[in-house]
Amino acid sequence: MPELAVAVFATDNDQRAVLQVLVDGTSVARTVCSNPTLPLAANDPVIRKTQAFAPDVILVDIASDGVTSALRAVELLHQELPDTAMFVVGPMTQPQLIISAMRAGVREYIERPTTTTDLLEAFVRLTATRRKPGRETSRGKVFTVVNAKGGSGGTTVAVNLALALQSLHHSTALIDLAPLGHCALHLNLKPTFTLSDAVTNLHRLDASLLDSFMVRHDHGLQLLAGAVTPTVIEPSASDFARLFDTMVGLFHYIVVDASSRLDSATRLVCNLSEKILLVAHADVASLWGAGRVAQYLGESGGSRERFALVLNRYRKVAGFNEAETEAAIGAPVLWRIPNQYFAVSTAIDRGVPLMHQGTTEIARSISGLAEYLTKDDLELKRTAWSLFKTV
The answer on 327 and 235 residing in a single domain is yes
DSSP letters of 308-364?
A: EEEEEEE---TT--HHHHHHHHTS-EEEEEE--HHHHHHHHHHT--GGGSSS-HHHH
Contacts 24+ apart (CB under 8 A), 284-289: 285/149, 286/148, 286/149, 286/152, 287/148, 287/325, 287/328, 287/329, 289/148, 289/149
| pLDDT of 254 strictly over 70 | yes
DSSP letters of 13-24?
A: HHHHHHHHHHHH
Among residues 106, 131, 156, the one where a domain terminates is: 131
The answer on 160 and 99 residing in a single domain is no
CATH number at 20 reads 3.40.50.2300
The answer on 105 and 154 residing in a single domain is no
Q: Is 390 part of a structural domain of the chain?
A: no
Q: Is 385 part of a structural domain of the chain?
A: no
pLDDT at res. 385? 31
Q: Is 389 part of a structural domain of the chain?
A: no
| Spatial CA neighbour of 222 closest among 252, 202, 259 | 252
Q: Is 312 part of a structural domain of the chain?
A: yes
Encode burial over 296-306: b for 16+ CB neighbours within 10 A, e otherwise: ebbebebeeeb
DSSP element (H, E) containing 291: helix 284-298
Q: Is 382 part of a structural domain of the chain?
A: no
Q: Is 136 part of a structural domain of the chain?
A: no
The answer on 80 and 8 residing in a single domain is yes
The answer on 109 and 16 residing in a single domain is yes
The answer on 186 and 79 residing in a single domain is no
pLDDT at res. 203? 75
Q: Is 363 part of a structural domain of the chain?
A: yes
The answer on 100 and 245 residing in a single domain is no
Among residues 96, 131, 166, the one where a domain terminates is: 131
What does DSSP assign to residue 183? H
Are the CB atoms for 146 and 154 separated by under 8 Å?
Answer: yes
Secondary-structure percent of the chain, ordered helix, strand, coil, rounded to 5: 45, 20, 40
CATH number at 227 reads 3.40.50.300
Span 355-387, pLDDT tens digits: 887 667 888 999 999 999 998 875 444 333 333
In percent, the amount of the chain with pLDDT more than 70 equals: 88
69's torsion region: left (phi>0), alpha (psi -120 to 50) or beta?
Answer: alpha
Span 144-192, pLDDT tens digits: 999 998 888 999 999 999 999 999 988 999 999 988 889 999 999 999 9
Encode burial over 201-220: b for 16+ CB neighbours within 10 A, e otherwise: ebeebbbebbeebbbebeee
The answer on 366 and 226 residing in a single domain is yes
Q: Is 96 part of a structural domain of the chain?
A: yes
The answer on 170 and 107 residing in a single domain is no
Structural domain span for residue 345: 141-373
The answer on 255 and 183 residing in a single domain is yes
User: Which residue did the predictor score with more confidence, 342 or 232?
Assistant: 342
The answer on 55 and 194 residing in a single domain is no
pLDDT at res. 19? 96
The pTM is what? Answer: 0.69
The answer on 98 and 166 residing in a single domain is no
| Spatial CA neighbour of 305 closest among 264, 274, 259 | 274
DSSP letters of 251-276?
A: -SEEEEEEET--SHHHHHHHHT-SEE
- Cα-Cα-Cα-Cα torsion 14, 15, 21, 25, nearest 10 degrees, comes to 150
Q: How many domains does the chain have?
A: 2
| CA distances, 28 to each of 115, 123, 357 (Å) | 14, 7, 49
C-alpha 253/C-alpha 274 separation (Å) is 10
Are the CB atoms for 87 and 249 separated by under 8 Å?
Answer: no
Among residues 104, 131, 158, the one where a domain terminates is: 131
